[in-house]
Amino acid sequence: MDIKFETRPITEIDSDALVIIGFDGEAPASAPAAGQVRELYASGEFSGEPLDVAVIHHPEGLKAKRVALAGAGKREKFDSATLRKVVSVAVRVLKGKGIHTIALLLDAGSHSDEFAAAAVEGAILGDFESNRYKTDPKKNEKYIESFAVIGGSQPAVDRGRILGEAQNFSRSLANDPPNLLTPLSLAARAREMAAQFGLECEVLDQDRMRQLGMGALLGVAQGSAEPPALIILSYRPVSAPATKDHLGLVGKGVTFDTGGISIKPALDMDQMRFDMAGGAAVLGAMRAIAQLKPGIPVTGIVPTVENMPGGKAQRPGDIVTSLSGKTVEVLNTDAEGRLILIDALTYAQRLGCTHLVDAATLTGAIVVALGHLYAGAFSNNQGFLDKLLAASKSEGERIWQMPLDEEYHKALESEFADLQNIGGRPGGAITAATFMKDFVNDMPWVHLDIAGTAWLEEGKPYMVKGATGICVRTFVRLAENWS
């Protein structure tokens, strides 16, 4: 899809559809084809309710073939996050009608760069389909050729395009089937992306990780015929950084999770392809960071493995030695994400990172706690967490702070090792975060449990079923706003 910043008068824009935003119970007085718009409101065909779309054919005084009214709800609640969804819905509806070229008019109240960027993101996210592997020749008959924004600025439109494409890159990775996206193929995709956008890329193989002593990560991988990898992407500002800080982004990259010997139920196990959504978010964020060039060095690390119940698989009761030197008693092999993450977090510290954020589809417990609307955030540093939450709010990604009191640590005490990898059912998301907290020492750190928000089990009007790409925009905004 070609993204454009349009500066011509509205009457000269020849598109298949011109989208304007309509608010609940408030017909825009100065909208293009104002008489026809008011008629739609008066007849009740369009009310402006959220995500409602109505189409006017042959609008008066315009070259555009249609005007599409997109409902945004109450004006006082309208923000860039709402606009992102509204545009996504409009794109999906118009695409379904065989429309190929779309222009969006931002009204005077939403002319800012923030809104322009969000609109472009919404268009790109709404245009995404999960049908990559379908062979039906008709699957590509309906497509959006171009999307133009009237309002904002060229840099804002460019930023929106970069973020939208980065998020879709993450979604595509997490959607890929596990027979095609193995740990080594994920590493190859990371190398290819890094070469395209000018990032440094290093991939540690199994032998190198064994030399370093990454026993926690390798213990998870040993049951699979697919070798593990540790992907390291590095971004360095062109000019001398204005800060001595160094942001580390770490993402869980389990390309398929059977649970290992502690095997999962068969129902919905196919969805465990997205157990690398945290890693995909890190790769997508690094793709955008390389183009937007924030002033802080950023390193992205993705430990990637396949968790299988093979003859050499890790057993409940095994004790592994992590890269930090601490020993872990593995009581449940399905609590594998925290094991690969602790070695990655330790390695990030060795690379000089001063602040760490990890994203992981870590626990079912976070879904019980927060459902599918919010990711859970855990941190050992309130100031750093506040900075991340501000970034997530700006980007419309819902994240909720969870507790991390020291008393939860008692559930992880082991008779045989320094720690055990599970703490029982009560507060399972919290004890998982508490486990990882032991491996970051005093370094500012935020853990994001995205298990409930990384995948849509059913499509929404604004997004198809499958991976959501959550955290990409938050990570980028965090780096951009660091100073």
User: Where in the sequence numbering do the catalytic residues fall?
Assistant: 264, 338
Instruction: Please name which of 109, 105, 108, 83 lies closest in space to residue 149, comparing C-alpha atoms.
Output: 105
Q: Give the long-range contacts of residues 453-458, CB within 8 A, separation 24 or more.
A: 453/372, 453/373, 453/374, 453/375, 453/398, 454/174, 454/274, 454/277, 454/278, 454/361, 455/174, 455/271, 455/274, 455/277, 455/361, 457/271
Q: CA 3 to CA 158: how far, in whole Å?
A: 8
How deeply is 4 buried, as exposed, middle or buried, from its count of CB atoms within 10 A (0-12, 13-18, 19+)? middle
Residues sharing a CB contact under 8 Å with residue 244, sequence separation 6 or more, in sequence order: 354
- Contacts of residue 62, defined as CB under 8 A and 6 or more positions apart, other chains included, come to 10, 11, 13, 18, 32, 33
DSSP assignment of 255-312:
EEE--TTSPPPSTTGGGGGGGGHHHHHHHHHHHHHHHH--SS-EEEEEEEEEE---TT
State the greatest distance between any 2 C-alpha atoms of the chain, in Å, as a whole number. Answer: 79
- Say which residue the tokens 């939208």 belong to: 164
Helix (H) or strand (E) holding 344: helix 337-350
Distance CA 188, CA 190 (A): 5
Cα distance between residue 219 and residue 5, in whole Å: 51
- Least Cα distance to 375 among 286, 459, 252 occurs for 252
- CA gap 103, 3 in Å, rounded: 10
Helix (H) or strand (E) segment spanning residue 115: helix 113-127
Q: Exposed (0-12), middle (13-18) or buried (19+): which is 195, by Cβ within 10 Å?
A: exposed
Q: CA end-to-end span of the chain, whole Å?
A: 34
Of the candidates 360, 381, 170, 121, which has an alpha carbon nearest to the alpha carbon of residue 249?
A: 360
